[in-house]
Structure 1
């Protein structure tokens, strides 16, 4: 039975072009078991492709007949080809992380086939240190980045001896617990309250737009135009690195803040350094668009998008690291307070209104040519605290690989795993030079807060 996409999910299909593929991904690094046989990597690949059917959402493709995919719906792919979606690759010697990131940069730049289920997974061997990697990408209309990470990680084992099916195996459909259906009364109430939600959501946006432009409280169209806000090409560059979570927590405790405060301060400091090297630092602070998940981790299997977005000042106009942190904390606290006072339906309406201009800008080609709504996207995704395993191999690190848009050429996303914060930076390599330098700038920005 066809399942029609929501307005938000359809938007990702409408915005996609050759220059702006609308998929998100993850790069996971694993340790090959010490007692692994010589054909271990081949056995991992067989584990990935020899599955008993394919579960949703991995088994579904887009069906659409109208222009602009206005009628897009998910349907089962009756001719599903697992060998197309799961691929086996190897790095050239010496198999450094540098070669791995270069490969992921190229793979992430390639669009998914719109005639097939919108995901691919690459098993990559030959990584130095007796390791291998798994790079998986899924279309944003299929699942948002936060849910995608949770979905993949929730289907990994908690011990090397635990046997779980591959993440896309049809076995997972058999393990699903039935969901409680909403009662008709609740549905009717939701319809009746729709107009009120739109009115209240619009009121929130108007209130924010009335605030002084130099306030630390931000909303859309309060960002300066920078080198980040140009048109992009289809070329990508990906950089990734891990930071100690206890170290970041210590800095947060020292400044009476949170891990997210320090993460945003690292981003703000890194952006200031990067733009200074290009002699392109604006007098006004950069504004980050920050996605906020509206669902719990166990709801990730449902697919689709369940996020809102807020705007936060990175205080890049402030030279003092401590002053910058205080301004970021004030900006983030205002966001938390406002969201806490809103009902879920009001947040949904507010999300549509604040993101509609983004979609229209991408579809009409205006993005990157007019004033930006914000400067870049920054996400913080909470991850597992315990060690995970994939077919007996220990997960060492898990790096998020997000997307960029016309007018928004950079994305910074982190995922926590055990005692680490895993940074993934993706950008348009033709629009922004030397993206890998952000890793040094993150370190310098953390060090000055310690």
Structure 2
């Protein structure tokens, strides 16, 4: 047995203990980015009508826990990460049922969600968990926490959506009982169930991906050939990709550090998670129509304006001040042209198909936020111009290559490179359009949806924008040392929309 190194928290194993299934460079990078001040865990939350714990557990077992990737845990051998198949998963260790104090409201729920952000997932089992929380204003709260190495935010939001239905009826046998009976009559019930779940996730990914492209007006989808080239998993292959993109990478590396602000503080281990009230999506659409912009432009301008107001209350802000936001963008190829109509996929092929759906298949772009511009009309048009200028950017592919390459490098080489890129931005910003109609989870209506993305390096602020059922909600995940008054920041961001409407 090899002795563990101090900077690796996951246990070491002998290669002979299980079949070798290496973790890709892009997925391994998120394991190495884990640190007490920033856990690489994606959190999603659904506030629902009262939800039955037994039906919720059945739902997780049937639509999530059997997927191949989530039956594995990452382990490390001589600095190389591998997936270890866990044959007997105790589902009770992955689903918790808890209650808030009597009379709890939003402050108590925010405190509970915030407390989760500093808790790592147990490395002796697959790195995911669900929490069913009772006692929140006669509603239930379903929370999913998954380590970033399993999938990117787009895939996890799609999985979370795959746990829901567009109807309320739940049969006496529990969620999907009738469908499962039909599946059981087909050959290989387990394989059929897994294919059915993968199909749900795949459909959700396509819907969310097209929604993101429609809202942001950015499309970085790759051709199937380009996608296979990008998935090269050897260090040599990554090195060649880096060499071929040296000029573009140099320009990206030459970007200066973001200006120092009151948010540029050393991180602590505690985090604050909060979210806004529901804002009508039609209001954002009305502003967008009025100024000939997109809904995404309006959202980004509101974020920039809110940040500018918050900073101005705590420091001097020049009108030319810009802060960059790291925005993840999807690099998955479109499903069109991917399906082989002449070959029937078998259950034995399904694990690889599931892994292709999951994993970290995204790049990032740096979006400048004009936080110093107080004229909101000018700021909106500048945001629109900056977004259009990014349409032909190579940043997403380059960042994907860099993350994949660093995930295969020794830790002592990886950390400085990742930090060099993280200090070029001041926040992580993710915008995901959800379902236009109300969804149901195990027969209970989903009233609100929210998610929070982790931040790498020394970044202390993450902003999530999510639309669902005709409303938009804004989520903040921040370090209290960087954003001392997060409620104040949230108030300013939401206030920008009101001022656009008043104008």
Query: Normalising to structure 1: TM-score of the pair?
Result: 0.82
Partner of 2:35: 17
Structure 2: runs of 5 or more not aligned: 1-18, 178-188, 203-222, 336-352
1:325 matched to 2:346? The reply is: no
Judging by fraction of residues, say which structure has more helix.
2
Displacement after TM superposition at 1:303 (Å): 1.6
- Cα distance in 1 between the residues matched to 2:487 and 2:240: 47
Partner of 1:432: 483
- Cα distance in 2 between the residues matched to 1:15 and 1:260: 29
Contact conserved, 2:463 with 2:476, CA < 8 A, in 1?
yes
Partner of 1:239: 274
Count the aligned residue pairs: 420
Partner of 1:4: 22
The aligned runs of 1:185-334 (5 Å cut-off) are: 198-199=242-243, 201-207=245-251, 220-241=255-276, 242-279=278-315, 281=317, 284-295=321-332, 302-334=357-389
The one of 30, 50, 56 aligned to 2:68: 56
Partner of 1:80: 89
Q: Deviations over 1:340-387 (max 9, x none)?
A: xxxxxx953453348979998996479889992111111111222222
- Cα distance in 2 between the residues matched to 1:385 and 1:173: 27
Displacement after TM superposition at 1:209 (Å): 6.8
- Cα distance in 1 between the residues matched to 2:406 and 2:237: 24
The one of 123, 142, 146 aligned to 2:154: 146
Displacement after TM superposition at 1:50 (Å): 6.3
Partner of 1:26: 44
Partner of 2:390: 335
Q: Deviations over 1:26-68 (max 9, x none)?
A: 1111023xxxxxxx6343455357659632322111122123x
Q: Deviations over 1:224-262 (max 9, x none)?
A: 122333321110111112221111111111111111101
Displacement after TM superposition at 1:422 (Å): 2.2
Partner of 2:453: 402
Partner of 1:37: none
Structure 1: runs of 5 or more not aligned: 33-39, 211-219, 340-345
Q: Deviations over 1:73-93 (max 9, x none)?
A: 222212422111100011112
Seen in structure 2, the aligned counterparts of structure 1 residues 74 and 370 have a Cα distance that, compared at 3 Å, is closer
The aligned runs of 1:97-176 (5 Å cut-off) are: 97-128=106-137, 130-161=138-169, 164=175, 172-175=193-196, 176=198
1:43 matched to 2:54? The reply is: yes
Three-state SS of the structure 1 residue aligned to 2:245 is helix
Contact conserved, 1:159 with 1:388, CA < 8 A, in 2?
yes
Contact conserved, 2:297 with 2:384, CA < 8 A, in 1?
yes
Query: Normalising to structure 2: TM-score of the pair?
Result: 0.74
Displacement after TM superposition at 1:432 (Å): 2.1
- Cα distance in 2 between the residues matched to 1:368 and 1:194: 19
Seen in structure 2, the aligned counterparts of structure 1 residues 288 and 396 have a Cα distance that, compared at 3 Å, is same
Three-state SS of the structure 2 residue aligned to 1:117 is coil
Seen in structure 2, the aligned counterparts of structure 1 residues 141 and 209 have a Cα distance that, compared at 3 Å, is closer
- Cα distance in 2 between the residues matched to 1:438 and 1:131: 27
Displacement after TM superposition at 1:193 (Å): 9.6
Contact conserved, 1:377 with 1:410, CA < 8 A, in 2?
yes
Displacement after TM superposition at 1:205 (Å): 3.8
Contact conserved, 2:170 with 2:176, CA < 8 A, in 1?
no
Contact conserved, 1:202 with 1:350, CA < 8 A, in 2?
no
Three-state SS of the structure 1 residue aligned to 2:70 is coil
Contact conserved, 1:64 with 1:73, CA < 8 A, in 2?
yes
What's the C-alpha RMSD, in Å, of the aligned pairs? 3.7
1:383 matched to 2:395? The reply is: no
Seen in structure 2, the aligned counterparts of structure 1 residues 362 and 393 have a Cα distance that, compared at 3 Å, is farther
Seen in structure 2, the aligned counterparts of structure 1 residues 54 and 370 have a Cα distance that, compared at 3 Å, is closer
Contact conserved, 1:31 with 1:396, CA < 8 A, in 2?
yes
Three-state SS of the structure 1 residue aligned to 2:89 is coil
Three-state SS of the structure 2 residue aligned to 1:4 is coil
Q: Deviations over 1:159-197 (max 9, x none)?
A: 01156459xx96741424699xx9999968987997885
- Cα distance in 2 between the residues matched to 1:296 and 1:97: 40
Contact conserved, 2:264 with 2:482, CA < 8 A, in 1?
no
